[in-house]
Amino acid sequence: MMDYPLLVHQFLERASVFSPHKEIISREGDSAHRYTYADLTKRASRLSNALAGLGVGKGDRVGTFAWNTYRHLEAYFAAPSMGAVLHTINIRLFTEDLVYIINHAGDKVILIDPDLVPILEPLAPQLESVEHFIILTDDRSFTTTLPSAHNYEDLLSEVSDEYSPVRVGENEPAGLCYTSATTGRPKGVIYSHRGIVLHSMMAAQVDTIGFRERDVVLPIVPMFHANCWGVPYTSALVGATQVLNGVRPDPEVICRLIDSEKVTLSLGVPTIWIGVLDHIGRSGRDYDFSSLREIVSGGSAVPISLIQAYKKKLDVNLIQAYGMTEATPIISYNRSTSGFDSYSDGDKLQLAGTQGAMVPGLEMRLVDDENNDIPWDGDQRGELLFKGPWIADSYYNDPRTEETFIDGWYHSGDIASVSPEGYIQIGDRVKDMVKSGGEWISSVDLETAIIGHPGVLEAAVIGIPHERWQERPLACVVANLESQGKLDKADVLDFIKDRFASWWMPDDVVFIDEIPKTSVGKMDKKVLRERYKDHQLGN
C-alpha cells in the first residue's frame, strides 16, 4: 500500500471539493454569520499565510483563547496545515494556570476574542514566549494594551487565499490541550495528526456517534475543551453543517439554535443538558426539537432520570459518551446493540444509564489496586485502563507522565464496573470516593439516586472529615424552582433509603443555590470539600 500519511488538512481538502456549499453558521449575538466550506477553506489558507508572515513555522504552538466561532474554526485547520500545533486554551482557568500553560506550551502567537482580551491584558508581561496577539475581530477601532496586537481581518486581507500544506509525518503534533490535575498545574496532551484522523474515522461510524453529511452539528462543548470532542474535524470529514454558538452561550441560545437551524446532533456536558431542560421548564417556551436525531452527553455520568425527562418531555434521545482529554477524547458510546432488543424496558433503561461500549479501535482493561484484571460482571469495580492509537502516551514535558502511563497503558483514574456485554458504568474518580471506616462509598451512586427525586435539580455528594469513620458523606442539593424552600433533609433521605445500606446514607443534607463548576462545566467538589470541611454532621 502507498505510504500515505493521515493528516488533518485532508479533512478540509475533501470538504472543499465534495461539500463546498455546506454551511458553517456562527452565532453573533441575535443573528448569525454564515459561510460555506469553500469559504472556510480559503480563509483557513489566508490564516496560514498570515501566521507564516508572523514567523510561525513547523512545530510552533499557536494558542487560541476564544469561544466557538468561525474564526476559531479557521485556526483549527490553519495551524495543523502549517505543521504548527493548535493550543486551545481554556478561558475559564485561574490566572496562575493560564500563565503556566501558555509559558509551558511556549505559545508563539495567541488568537483571542475581543471580550476575553481583559483577561490576558494584565498577564501579558508574564507570558514569556508570545510574540504576537491576534484579535479575532473585524473592528479596526478595537484597542488593547496587549503588545504586538494585530487585527485578524486585517491580517487575512493582506495575504493569498491559497496555501500548500507543509509536509509533516502523521505522528507529528497537530494539537495541544491541557487538562486539570488533581494536584498541581494542568497537564498538557499532544494530539498527533494520525490520532485525530483515526478518531474522526471512528466517530463517523454508524455504531459510534455516526457523524454524517446530512448532520447539522452543534457542539456545545467549548472549542477550548478536549479538542472540542473532535467535532470540527469529524464534521469536516463528512461535510456536515456546523453550528457554532458564539460568545457566552446560555441555555436559551442553545434552544434557539437547535430550533432555528434544525440541528440534528448536539454535544455537551450533563450540566448543559440539565440547564436546557430547566430553561424550557422555566420559560414555558415551545422550541421545535424534532430535527434532533440525538444529543450526546459526556464528561460525567448522567442520571437516568435526565434521559427519561428528555425522552418524555421533548422526545429526544440523550446518549451517553465517555472520554477524556487524554483520549482525543472519545472512549465509549452508548449505541444500543442488537443483543439488548430482548431486554425488559427496565434493563434497557439501566443500559442507557451506562456510558456504553468501548468504540472499535481501542483496548481496555478493568483492574484492581494491584493491576489484576477484574471480571466484567456489572458489579465489581476497578480502575479503567486504555490503549490505542488516539490515546496519549505521555503528558507534554511533564514528570507526572510516569504516574499515569504505565507499561503501555493509560491509567484513567476512573473507577467503573463493566457489564458482561462490555458496557462501562463509570463510578467515581478515585479522588471522589468517600472513604468511611475503611470501606468505599460511591458519591456518584448517591448523587444519581438523589437527582431522581422530582424536586431536585442537582446534587453533589462529598466526603467530609470524621473523627471516628475518617470520612462521611454529605449531600449538597439544589432544589428545582417549584421545590425551593419546601424540600427538606428527610424528603431526600427517605427517597433513597431503600436503595443503600445504612452506612452508605449521607449523614447530612445541605441545600445550596448552585453546585460550583470547574472550567469545563463539571461539578467542582474541591470547592465544596473546602467549604464544608468543618461542617458538623447531624448524627
Provide the binding-site residues for a copy of itself, judged by CB under 8 A. 1-4, 6, 10, 13-14, 17-19, 21-22, 171, 190-192, 194-195, 198, 201-202, 204-207, 210-214, 237-239, 328, 335, 337-339, 357-358, 360-361, 363, 387-393, 408, 410, 421-422
| Closest CB 259 distance from a copy of itself, rounded Å | 19
| Closest CB 390 distance from a copy of itself, rounded Å | 6
> Furthest-apart CA pair in the chain: how many Å?
72
| Closest CB 323 distance from a copy of itself, rounded Å | 14
- Among residues 435, 489, 522, 526, which one is catalytic? 435
Residue nearer to a copy of itself on the CB measure, 162 or 393: 393
Residue nearer to a copy of itself on the CB measure, 175 or 473: 175
CA angle 378, 380, 384 (to 5 degrees): 90
| Closest CB 200 distance from a copy of itself, rounded Å | 9
Helix (H, G, I), strand (E, B) or coil at 103: helix
DSSP result, 308-372? HHHHHHH---EEEEEE-GGGSSEEEE-PPPGGGTTS-HHHHHHHHTS--EEPTT-EEEEE-TTS-
Which residues sit opposite 321 in a β-bridge?
333
Residue nearer to a copy of itself on the CB measure, 263 or 474: 263
Sequence-ordered list of residues with C-beta below 8 angstroms from that of 525, at least 6 positions apart, any chain:
432, 443, 460, 462
Helix (H, G, I), strand (E, B) or coil at 124: helix
| Closest CB 177 distance from a copy of itself, rounded Å | 13
Residue nearer to a copy of itself on the CB measure, 65 or 410: 410
| Closest CB 134 distance from a copy of itself, rounded Å | 28
Residue nearer to a copy of itself on the CB measure, 175 or 521: 175
Nearest to 243 by CA among 264, 271, 225, 226: 264
Nearest to 11 by CA among 147, 193, 220: 193
Sequence-ordered list of residues with C-beta below 8 angstroms from that of 521, at least 6 positions apart, any chain:
268, 269, 271, 272, 299
| Closest CB 168 distance from a copy of itself, rounded Å | 14
Alpha-carbon distance 299 to 316, whole Å? 19
Residue nearer to a copy of itself on the CB measure, 294 or 458: 294
Are the C-beta atoms of residues 184 and 74 closer than 8 Å to each other? no
Residue nearer to a copy of itself on the CB measure, 213 or 278: 213
28 is a catalytic site residue: no
Q: How many residues does the chain have?
A: 539
326 is a catalytic site residue: yes
- Among residues 326, 383, 458, 471, which one is catalytic? 326
User: In the structure grid, which three cell numbers stand for residue 222, read together?
Assistant: 467549548
User: In the structure grid, which three cell numbers stand for residue 79, read together?
Assistant: 495551524
- Among residues 64, 137, 179, 448, which one is catalytic? 179
φ and ψ at residue 231, rounded to 5 degrees: -60, -45
Alpha-carbon distance 360 to 366, whole Å? 17
**344, exposed or middle or buried, with CB in 10 Å at 0-12, 13-18, 19+?**
exposed
- Among residues 131, 213, 440, 522, which one is catalytic? 440
Regarding beta strands 216-219 and 265-268, do their DSSP bridges make them parallel or antiparallel, or are they unpaired?
Answer: parallel
13 is a catalytic site residue: no
435 is a catalytic site residue: yes
As annotated, the active-site residues are 179, 326, 435, 440
